[in-house]
Amino acid sequence: MNKYYITTPIYYPSANFHIGHCYCTIVADAIARYKRMKGFDVFFQTGTDEHGQKIQKKAEEVGKTPKQYVDEIVADAQDLWKTLNISYDNFIRTTDKKHIECVQKIFKKLYDQGDIYKGEYKGLYCTPCESFWTESQLVDGKCPDCGRDVYEVSEEAYFFKLSKYQDRLVKYYDEHPEFIEPISRKNEMLNNFIKPGLEDLCVSRTSFDWGIPVTFDENHVVYVWLDALTNYISSLGYLSDDDSLMKKYWPADIHIVGKEIVRFHTIIWPIILMALDLELPTKVFGHGWLIVNGGKISKSLGNYKDPREYIDSYGVDAVRYFALREVPFGSDGNFSEESLIARINGDLANILGNLVQRTISMGHKYFDGKIENRNIEDELSGNFIDEINKLDSLVSEKMEKLEINLALEEIFNLLRASNKYIDETTPWILAKNEDNRDKLETVLYNLLESIRVSALLLRPFLPDTSKAIISQLNTQSEELSYIGTNSYNLNNPEILFKRIDVK
Ligand code: ME8
C-alpha cells in the first residue's frame, strides 16, 4: 500500500484559533481523506507550536504558567478540530516529551558535527510575530508583517550554518521542480532570500526560558524554527528507540503551509534535513490567506470571530465547503459572511440539496421509494451516464494538481447536469402516462446513480453531507461509477441545507 504523509503547520496557541487556521486544516483534511479513499496509507499530522517568549508573556499576563496556559488553548483547538471533522492521525505538541528529546538530540548532533556554533546575536526583533528582521526588511521602520515596533536585541546565541548548504539547496530546487508550489513561491525564495546570500540562523536564546533547554549549555533554550520544524520528524520517532513510523512515512509527501512561512519550510527545513542526512519532503505547498476587509485575519490584529459561530449558524459542511470551494488553493481569497451565505444558497441548497430532495421525493411519489433499472436507453440518458462515469477521473485529475476548488466544481458540474437531466426528461410528464412507466423508473434510477457517485466523491470534502445523502439513498454500493444493477429502497428525503434568508 502506498503511504502518504501530509502535514499542516503547527499553530501557535497564543489565543483562540480563527477561520484562517481552519482554512488550511480543512484543506489538508480533505486531501488526507481523499488519499485514504484512494487506498493510500495516510498519516495526517497537525499540532501546536507552544514555546517562545510571546507565550511566556501571555501566560504571565493572565497569572498562569506557560504550560497551564497552552494546555487550555490546545484542548480548545482539539475541540474545534473535532467539530470540523478533522481526521488527523496525530496531534503533535512541541511540549511532548518525545518532541523535546528529539530536538535536544538534533541540536547536539548538529553542534557535534560543527553545523551549530556559538556567537552573538544582534538584531531587530518583533515580539508579537517572534521574528527577527534586518534593517532593510522593515517597512517604515516597523515589522513588515504586523506593522508594530521592533527592538534591537543583542545576546549570546547559537547559530546554524545555513550558508554552508546554500549551493546544495539551489541544486536541489533545480533537480526537483515539484518541490515548491505554486511555482511563483519558488522564484520568490530564490530571488528574495537565497540569491542575496543566506545568513546563518539564530537557533538559541538566553533572554527567556519557555523553550527546550540546550542540554550542554543550560542558559540557552532552542529558538523557534529548529524546535518547530522538527515536529514533522519527532512525531515519527526520529532518533528515538522506536523509529518505525519514521521508516514508514518519511519523507513527507506534502507540507501544507501559509505563504509567509514557505521561506522557513523551503530554506531552513531542507537544510536541517540535509545536515541530518535525511531525505527532503516531496512537496511544500504555500497557500494564500483568507482576507477580511482587505487584511489577513490574524490574532495579533484581532479582526476575527470564533469559527464556531459560523459553524453554529450554518453547519460544519457549509464552512468546509466555503474553505474548499471559494478560493483557488494557493491564492488569497476574501472571507465574508455574505460570500459564505452565497455559497450555501447557490451551491449547497439550490444545486445539491434541491437535486437530492427532488429525486428522492419523486422516487417515493411514483414508486414508493423502490426503484430498479429498467434499462430504457436513449441518447440523453446515454450522455448522462457517460458524464457520471467520467466524474471520478476528472476529480482525481484535479486533486493530483491540488486544484481542490476545481475538483469540487467537477462534482457540482455533474449535479448541475443532473438537474438539467430532470428538466429535459420531465418525469412529472412521463408519470402521466402508464406506457412511460419503465422510462420514468429508468430516469429516476439514473439520477440516483448520479447522486450516489457524487455523494461518494463528496465524502472527503463534506463528510457529514455525504453520509446523510448515502443514508437517504439507503445504499451500500461504493463503486465510483455508474452501475446498471443496483436497486434502491429509498429512505425519506430530509433537507440537507436550508436556504439562508438574507435580511
Ligand atoms: O506560523 N488565512 O503558526 P501560526 C490563511 N507556528 N491561513 C492563515 C491565516 C489566514 N488568515 N492566518 C494564519 C506559525 N494562517 C508557526 C508554524 S510550522 C513548523 C510552524 C496560517 O499559528 C498561516 O499562514 O501563526 C500558517 O500557515 C498557519 O496558519 C499557522 O500560523
Q: Residue 315: left (phi > 0), alpha (psi -120 to 50), or beta? A: left
Mean pLDDT of 373-399: 97
The answer to the question of residue 413 being in a domain is: yes
pLDDT of residue 120: 92
The x, y and z cell numbers of residue 126, run together, are 518583533
Amino acid identity at 125: Y
**Length of the chain in terms of residues written:** 503
**How would you label 130-150 residue by residue, b for 16+ Cβ within 10 Å and e otherwise?**
bbbbeeeeeeeeebebbeeeb
- Alpha carbons 116 and 203: distance in angstroms, whole number: 8
Measure 256 CA to ligand 1 centroid, in angstroms: 10
Look at residue 211 and give its three-state secondary structure: coil
pLDDT of residue 54: 86
List Cα–Cα distances, 355 to 210, 372, 409, 412, 484, in angstroms. 55, 19, 16, 11, 20
Range of the domain at 398: 337-489
The answer to the question of residue 458 being in a domain is: yes
Instruction: Assess whether pLDDT exceeds 90 at residue 295.
Output: no
Under the banding of pLDDT at 50, 70 and 90, the label for residue 454 is very high
The x, y and z cell numbers of residue 200, run together, are 546563518
- Alpha carbons 490 and 481: distance in angstroms, whole number: 19
Mean pLDDT of 384-399: 98
The answer to the question of residue 471 being in a domain is: yes
Under the banding of pLDDT at 50, 70 and 90, the label for residue 491 is very high
The answer to the question of residue 360 being in a domain is: yes
Nearest residue (CA) to ligand 1, atom 29: 21
Number of domains in the chain: 1
Residue 323 CB: number of other CB atoms within 10 A?
Answer: 29
Q: Contact at 8 Å (CB) between 426 and 362?
A: no
- Spell out the residues 6+ positions from residue 6 whose beta carbon is closer than 8 angstroms to its own: 28, 31, 32, 35, 42, 43, 44, 45, 252, 253, 254, 256
Of 235, 255, 289, 300, which is best to mutate to test ligand 1, by the most ligand atoms within 8 angstroms of its C-beta?
289
- Alpha carbons 11 and 46: distance in angstroms, whole number: 8
Under the banding of pLDDT at 50, 70 and 90, the label for residue 432 is very high
DSSP H/E element including 363: helix 354-367
Under the banding of pLDDT at 50, 70 and 90, the label for residue 53 is confident
In this predicted model, what pLDDT tens digit does every residue of 72-111 receive, in sequence order? 999 999 999 999 999 999 999 999 999 999 999 999 999 9
The answer to the question of residue 327 being in a domain is: no
In this predicted model, what pLDDT tens digit does every residue of 198-236 receive, in sequence order? 999 999 999 889 999 999 999 999 998 999 999 999 999
pLDDT of residue 45: 98
pLDDT of residue 15: 67
Report the percentage of the chain scoring pLDDT > 90.
Answer: 86
The burial of 208, by beta-carbon neighbours within 10 Å (0-12 exposed, 13-18 middle, 19 or more buried), is given as middle
pLDDT of residue 14: 67
pLDDT of residue 19: 87
The answer to the question of residue 110 being in a domain is: no
Q: Contact at 8 Å (CB) between 229 and 211?
A: no
- Alpha carbons 134 and 149: distance in angstroms, whole number: 13
The answer to the question of residue 391 being in a domain is: yes
Measure 462 CA to ligand 1 centroid, in angstroms: 23
The answer to the question of residue 484 being in a domain is: yes
Report the percentage of the chain scoring pLDDT > 70.
Answer: 98
- Spell out the residues 6+ positions from residue 187 whose beta carbon is closer than 8 angstroms to its own: none
The CATH code of the domain that includes 423 is 1.10.730.10
- Alpha carbons 490 and 488: distance in angstroms, whole number: 6
In this predicted model, what pLDDT tens digit does every residue of 124-143 receive, in sequence order? 888 887 777 888 889 999 99
Instruction: Assess whether pLDDT exceeds 90 at residue 180.
Output: yes
In this predicted model, what pLDDT tens digit does every residue of 231-279 receive, in sequence order? 999 999 999 999 999 999 999 999 999 999 999 999 999 999 999 999 9
pLDDT of residue 429: 98
Instruction: Assess whether pLDDT exceeds 70 at residue 179.
Output: yes
First to last CA, the chain: 52
Sheet of strand 284-287, all strands in order from the earlier edge strand to the far edge: 90-93, 41-48, 3-11, 254-258, 284-287, 180-181
Look at residue 88 and give its three-state secondary structure: coil
Nearest-atom number in ligand 1 for the CA of 260 is: 24
- Alpha carbons 472 and 357: distance in angstroms, whole number: 10
In this predicted model, what pLDDT tens digit does every residue of 301-348 receive, in sequence order? 666 778 899 999 999 999 999 999 999 998 999 888 899 999 999 999
Measured from CB, residues less than 6 Å from any atom of ligand 1 are 9-12, 20-21, 23-24, 49, 228-229, 231, 257-258, 260-261, 289-290, 296-298
Q: What is the mean pLDDT of the chain?
A: 94
Sheet of strand 295-296, all strands in order from the earlier edge strand to the far edge: 295-296, 290-292, 333-334
Nearest-atom number in ligand 1 for the CA of 291 is: 11
Mean pLDDT of 425-430: 98
**How would you label 37-56 residue by residue, b for 16+ Cβ within 10 Å and e otherwise?**
eeebebbbbbbbbbbbbbbb
Of 24, 92, 331, which is best to mutate to test ligand 1, by the most ligand atoms within 8 angstroms of its C-beta?
24
